[in-house]
Amino acid sequence: MKENITYPLNAIQWECYEEFMQAPELTQHNVTLCMPFERSSAQRFQRAMQRMLDEQRYLHIHLVRQGDDIMICEDWQMPNNVHYYRMSDAEWEAAEPTFTKPFDIFNEACVHLSLVETDSKCYVVMENHHLFFDGISQRALWNAFEEALQGKPLYQQGDIAAEITRQEIASYDSDAYRRAREYYLKKFEGLQVTDFCRETDNPLGPAISSHPMVSATIIDEGCQRIGQTPTTVFYAAYALALAYMSGERRVAFYTFNHGRGDRRLTDHVYGHYLTSLPIMIDTDPGQTVTELLSQTRRELFCSMRYRIYPEYHLLREIGLDDGAEMGYNASTISEYINIDGKLWNTYHIDPSLTGEHSSTYVTRRDDLYEVFTDCSSALYTQQQIDTLSEITGQMALRLVGNQEETISNIIFYKK
- The 3-class secondary structure across 91-141, one letter per residue, is HHHHHHHHHCCCCCCCCCCCEEEEEEECCCEEEEEEEEECCCCCCCCHHHH
Q: Where in the chain is the domain with CATH 3.30.559.10?
A: 5-163
- The DSSP letter of residue 37 is E
Q: Cα dist. 112→3, 10, 54, 58, 216 in Å?
A: 21, 23, 14, 12, 34
Edge to edge, the sheet with strand 5-8 lists 5-8, 69-74, 61-66
pLDDT value of position 415: 38
CB atoms within 10 A of CB 120: 11
pLDDT value of position 249: 93
Q: Confirm if 208 and 374 have CB atoms less than 8 A apart.
A: yes
SS3 203: coil
Q: What single-letter amino acid sits at 204?
A: L
pLDDT value of position 266: 63
pLDDT value of position 354: 87
Angle (CA) 216-305-283 rounded to 5° is 55
Cα–Cα distance for residue pair 85/98, rounded to 1 Å:
13
pLDDT value of position 332: 41
Three-state SS annotation for 66-82: ECCEEEEEECCCCCCCE
Angle (CA) 146-216-401 rounded to 5° is 160
pLDDT value of position 73: 96
Q: Where in the chain is the domain with CATH 3.30.559.30?
A: 175-409
Among 3.40.640.10, 3.40.50.410, 3.30.559.10, 3.40.50.720, what is the CATH number of 5-163? Answer: 3.30.559.10
Q: What single-letter amino acid sits at 385?
A: I
Of 45, 30, 31, the closest CA to residue 83 belongs to 45
pLDDT value of position 330: 42
pTM, two decimal places: 0.85
pLDDT value of position 331: 39
> Under CATH, to which class is 175-409 assigned?
alpha beta
pLDDT value of position 321: 63
Rg (CA), the chain: 22
Low-confidence ranges of the chain (pLDDT < 50): 330-334, 414-415
Cα–Cα distance for residue pair 125/210, rounded to 1 Å:
22
